[in-house]
C-alpha cells in the first residue's frame, strides 16, 4: 500500500481531538482505506455486494441439513428482497447482484439474476473432481466479470449461496492448510452430531480420493478444481480482480474466507486489499482466519453466509471514514493537547 | 420483559428464511428490543445521545494526561460538531445533547449546551467526599431530566466527558466490587507506566480515606457521593429513568458501565433494559462488564468515551431490527425448510 497515504493518514489521526489511539481499530481502518483508495479522505458510500450461487454434487452424500432445491429458491428470495442479504443491502443502500453459476434444477432467467451457468452444479467431490479445468476457469472468470460490473465501487463484498458448500469449503481448507476434517468441518446450516460425523467421514474419503492433488497444496488451482465449488472459485476470482482494480474487499464468513485463502496463495499481494468482517460460528472459520493472519471486526456468532456478516460490518468502515474525514483537529478546535 | 413479546419474537425469528440461529446475536437483539419496546416490529430509528460533562477535583493529584481545561474545550467541540461523538451522531442521524454539570473554569452559556451546573467540579476524592448528598441528588436529577427531554426516543445512549473521570469511575468500581485499584485503574486518556502507578496510589489513598463508605458497598449512593463524579451519577440517574420510561439503553465504555453497575445495585430490574455496546481498551472495563454479566457487541480497542463506543454499535441494533422486520418467511417465499 502507498506509504505516503499511510503516513498522511497516521498524521491526520494524531491531529484529531481525541487521545492518541482512542478510536482503536477504527483509526487503522480509515488509514488503510485511505491508502487502498489512494485518497486522503476515504469513503465506502458505494458498496457492491455480489452473491454467487451454485449447487454441489457432494449433496448426494447427505452432507446438508437442507435439501438442494433451496439453492434455487434462495436465488429467487435474494432478488425478491426477502433474504437476509437483501434486507441488509437495502438498509445499507448497497448494490446487490446475484450471479447464478449453475443449480441442480435449472432455473428460468429472472430479472436481477446474472445467468452465468457453468453446469447444473459441481460433480460429487467425494468420488470425482468437483469440476474440470475449464469449469474452474469459467468460475474464476465469472468472479472477475462481476468485479468489472462493479467499476466505481468503494468496497466489494462477495457472498455465496449453495447447499453443501461448507463441505466443499472445508475440503479446500483441509487441503490448503494440511489439517484434518475434524478441525475444519462444522454443522453448516444445522447438522446434528451424527450429521457432522458423517460429513467428516465424507471429507476423509474426498481427501483420500484427491490425495495427489492435496499433496500439491501450494497449487491452489488444482485444489479448487478437485474439491471446491463454482461459487468458491468465483469468489477467489472476484477478490483477485477487486485488488487489481484497487477496490478494497470486505471478506464475509467461512466460505468467503476459504476463497480468500486460495486467492492469497495464488497472489500473496492480495492480502493488503482484504478486510475481514467477522468470525463465524462455523468452527473451522477461526483456523482459516488464523492462517490468513486476520483479526475480524465482529464476533456475533453469525453463520449464514450470503455476505451477511460482511454487510453487518460495513457501518464500522463508514463510521471510521466519517471520523477520519470530519473530526476537528486540536488546532482548529483550540483544544489543549495531552502529555 | 414481556414474555408474550419474547415468545412472539422467537417464533418470528424461527419463521425467517435462514437456518435457525444463523444470524447469531442479531436475532436475540431484535427479540429483546421487541420485548423492551412492547411491539412486534422493534426499531431504533430515533436515537438520543446525551453527553454529561463535569470536572473532577481529583485532577489536583495529577491523575490525567490532559489538563483540566480540556473538559470545557470539549463541550464547545461537541456542539461545534468536531468531536468524535458529534461526527457519529450526525452520521447516525441521532440527536445529540450536551449537559454541563460544572467545569473548573465556568463556561459561558452556549447554544446547544444544557446548563445544569452543580459546582465547578467535584471536590478531590483523595482528600474529601467528591460531592455532598445534595450535589449527588442534583446529579441524579440531571440524568433524569435528560431522559425526560428524550421522550419518544427508541434508544438512549449516555456519554461522558470529564478530565480525571476514569479515576473517579475506578474508585467507584473498586468500592462496589471490593477490588484493588491495581485491577481497575488504567491509562485513561494516556498515562504512562509511572502515571498509572501514581493513579493507583491516589486510589489507594482515596479508598482508605473513605473506608467507612466503602464498607457499605451495598449502598451505592454513599459510594457515588464519596468517590464518583457528577457525570457518573447523572448517567446512573439517566439509566434508571430510561428503564422507568421503557427506553432501552445502549451502554458505552468503562465510565458508563460503572454508572450502570451503581444503578443496577440501586435497582436490579434495570439490567433488563441495558444493552452493552463494546469492551473498552481501558483494562478495568472487562471486570466491570463481568460483574454486570454483560457480553458486549464490539471489541474494537476503543477507549474514548463520549458515548462513541455505543454509537459505533447502533448500526448493529438497526440491522437486527431490519432483519427481524423485513425478511421473508419460509412460507411466504416458498422455501423448503431444513431438518
> What DSSP string runs through B71-119?
HHHHHHHHHHT-SHHHHHHHHHT-EEEEEE---SSPPPP-TTEEE---S
A19 and A110 housed in the same domain = no
Please indicate, yes or no, if residue B338 is contained in any of the structural domains.
no
Q: DSSP class of residue B156?
A: E
CB B231 within 8 A of CB B138: no
Coil, strand, or helix at residue A97?
Answer: strand
Residues A79 and A209 reside in one and the same domain? yes
Spell out which residues of chain B touch residue A89, defining contact as CB-CB under 8 Å. none
CB–CB contact A17 B82 (8 Å): yes
Please tell me whether residues B32 and B115 are part of one structural domain.
no
Are B333 and A304 within 8 A, CB to CB? Answer: no
Same domain, A84 and A53: yes
Q: In this structure, is residue A319 part of a structural domain?
A: no
The pLDDT value given to residue B217: 61
B10 and B133 belong to one structural domain:
no
Contacts of B30 in chain A (CB under 8 A): none
Q: What are the pLDDT digits (tens) for A246-272? A: 999 999 999 999 999 999 999 999 999
- Contact of A158 with A238, CB cutoff 8 Å: yes
Report the distance separating Cα B158 and Cα A323, nearest Å. Answer: 19
Q: Cβ separation of A17 and B84 shorter than 8 Å?
A: yes
- Whichever domain contains B30, its CATH number is 1.10.1610.10
Q: pLDDT value at position A218?
A: 73
B93 within 8 A of B172, measured Cβ to Cβ:
no
Of B91, B281, B339, the CB nearest to A322: B91
Domain count, chain B: 2
Do A22 and A144 have their domain in common? no
How confident is the model at residue A215, as a pLDDT? 78
Question: What would the DSSP string read from start to end of B274-336?
Answer: EEE-B--SSTHHHHHHHHTT---SB-------TTHHHHHHHHHHHHHHHHHHHPPBHHHHT--
Widest Cα–Cα separation across chain B: 70
Q: Is A284 a domain residue?
A: yes
Is A184 among the domain residues?
yes
Contacts of A179 (CB under 8 A, 6+ apart): A173, A287
User: How many CB atoms within 10 Å of residue A302?
Assistant: 27
Percent of chain A clearing pLDDT 70 (strictly above): 99
In 3D space, the residue among A92, A116, A111, A139 whose CA is nearest the CA of residue A308 turns out to be A92
Q: Given an 8 Å threshold on Cβ–Cβ distance, is B74 in contact with A303?
A: no
For residues A113-123, average pLDDT: 98
Residue A67: φ, ψ to 5°: -70, 155
Indicate whether B339 belongs to any domain. no
Distance CA A274, CA A279 (A): 14
C-beta separation of A18 from B281 below 8 A: no
Q: Judge if A103 and A169 occupy the same domain.
A: yes
pLDDT per residue of chain B (339 residues) written in tens, 0 to 9: 999 999 999 999 999 999 999 999 999 999 999 999 999 999 999 999 999 999 999 999 999 999 999 999 999 999 999 999 999 999 999 999 999 999 999 899 999 999 999 999 999 999 999 999 999 999 999 999 999 999 999 999 999 999 999 999 999 999 999 999 999 999 999 999 999 999 999 999 999 999 988 876 678 999 999 999 999 999 999 999 999 999 999 999 999 999 999 999 999 999 999 999 999 999 999 999 999 999 999 999 999 999 999 999 999 999 999 999 999 999 999 999 876
Strand partners, B158: B50
**Confidence at residue A214, expressed as pLDDT on a 0 to 100 scale:** 81
Q: DSSP assignment, residue B126?
A: T
The DSSP output letter for B100 is E
Nearest to A24 among B21, B66, B302 (CB): B302
Set of cell numbers at residue A290 = 488464523
What is the nearest CA distance from A106 to chain B, expressed in angstroms?
16
- CB-CB neighbors (< 8 A) of B84 in chain A: 16-18, 23, 323, 327
For A151-195, what is each residue's pLDDT tens digit? 999 999 999 999 999 999 999 999 999 999 999 999 999 999 999
Report whether B125 contacts B168 (CB < 8 A): yes
| Shared domain check, B157 and B19 | no
**Mean pLDDT of the A195-203 span:** 98
Length of chain B: 339
Q: What are phi and psi of A161, to 5 degrees?
A: -145, 130
- Please report, for the domain that includes residue A75, its CATH number: 3.40.50.10210
Examine the domain organization and report whether B286 and B300 are in the same domain: yes
- SS percent in chain B: helix, strand, coil, step 5: 55, 10, 35
- Say if residue A12 is in the same domain as residue A52: no
Separation between Cα atoms, residue B317 and residue B296, nearest integer Å: 12
Strands (E), B193-248: none
C-alpha cell at A210: 484427491
Residue B119 lies in a domain: yes
pLDDT at A339 exceeding the cut of 90: no
- Which residues from B are below 8 Å from A333, CB to CB? 73, 76-77, 80, 82
Q: Are residues A33 and A122 in the same domain?
A: no
| Nearest by Cα to A163 from B336, B180, B320 | B336
Please give the Cα distance from B328 to A90 (Å, whole number).
14
Residue A236: is it exposed, middle or buried by C-beta count within 10 angstroms (0-12/13-18/19+)? buried
User: Does some domain include residue B95?
Assistant: yes
Per residue in A26-51, pLDDT (tens digit) is 999 999 999 999 999 999 999 999 99
A291 to chain B, closest Cα gap in Å = 21
Same domain, A18 and A114: no
Closest CA to A308 of A110, A119, A86, A154: A86
**Residues of chain A with pLDDT > 90: what percent?**
96
Alpha helices in B16-83 (DSSP H): 25-37, 70-80
**What local confidence, expressed as pLDDT, does residue B219 receive?**
86
Residue A339 lies inside a defined structural domain of this protein: no
Give the pLDDT score at B259. 98
Shortest Cα distance, chain B CAs vs residue A14, angstroms: 13
Domain with A145, as residue range(s), is 47-314
Amino acid at each position: 500500500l502507498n506509504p505516503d497515504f499511510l503516513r498522511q493518514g497516521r498524521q491526520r489521526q494524531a491531529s484529531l481531538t481525541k487521545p492518541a489511539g482512542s478510536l482503536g481499530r477504527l483509526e487503522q481502518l480509515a488509514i488503510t482505506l485511505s491508502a487502498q483508495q489512494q485518497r486522503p479522505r476515504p469513503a465506502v458510500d458505494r458498496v457492491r455486494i455480489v452473491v454467487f450461487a451454485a449447487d454441489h454434487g457432494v449433496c448426494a452424500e447427505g452432507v446438508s441439513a437442507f435439501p438442494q432445491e433451496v439453492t434455487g429458491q434462495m436465488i429467487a428470495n435474494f432478488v425478491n428482497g426477502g433474504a437476509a442479504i437483501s434486507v441488509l443491502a437495502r438498509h445499507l443502500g448497497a448494490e446487490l447482484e446475484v450471479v447464478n453459476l449453475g443449480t441442480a434444477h435449472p432455473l428460468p432467467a429472472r430479472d436481477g439474476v446474472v445467468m452465468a451457468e457453468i453446469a447444473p452444479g459441481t460433480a460429487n467431490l467425494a468420488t470425482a473432481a468437483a469440476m474440470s479445468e475449464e469449469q474452474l476457469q469459467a468460475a474464476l472468470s465469472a468472479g472477475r466479470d462481476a468485479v468489472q460490473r462493479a467499476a466505481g465501487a468503494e468496497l466489494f463484498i462477495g457472498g455465496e449461496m449453495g447447499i453443501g458448500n461448507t463441505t466443499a469449503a472445508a475440503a479446500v481448507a483441509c487441503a490448503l492448510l494440511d489439517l484434518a476434517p475434524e478441525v475444519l468441518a462444522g454443522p453448516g446450516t444445522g447438522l446434528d452430531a451424527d450429521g457432522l460425523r458423517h460429513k467428516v467421514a465424507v471429507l476423509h474419503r474426498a481427501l483420500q480420493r484427491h490425495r495427489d492433488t492435496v499433496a500439491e497444496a501450494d497449487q491452489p488451482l488444482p485444489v479448487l478444481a478437485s474439491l471446491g465449488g463454482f461459487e468458491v472459485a468465483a469468489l477467489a476470482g472476484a477478490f483477485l480482480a477487486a485488488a487489481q482494480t484497487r477496490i478494497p474487499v470486505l471478506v464475509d464468513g467461512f466460505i468467503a474466507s476459504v476463497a480468500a485463502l486460495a486467492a492469497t496463495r495464488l497472489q500473496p499481494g492480495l492480502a493488503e486489499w482484504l478486510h475481514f468482517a467477522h468470525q463465524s460460528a462455523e468452527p473451522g472459520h477461526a483456523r482459516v482466519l488464523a492462517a490468513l493472519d486476520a483479526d475480524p471486526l465482529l464476533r456475533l456468532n453469525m453463520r449464514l453466509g450470503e455476505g451477511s456478516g460482511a454487510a453487518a460490518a460495513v457501518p464500522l468502515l463508514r463510521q471510521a471514514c466519517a471520523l477520519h474525514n470530519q473530526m476537528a483537529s486540536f488546532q482548529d478546535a483550540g483544544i489543549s493537547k495531552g502529555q
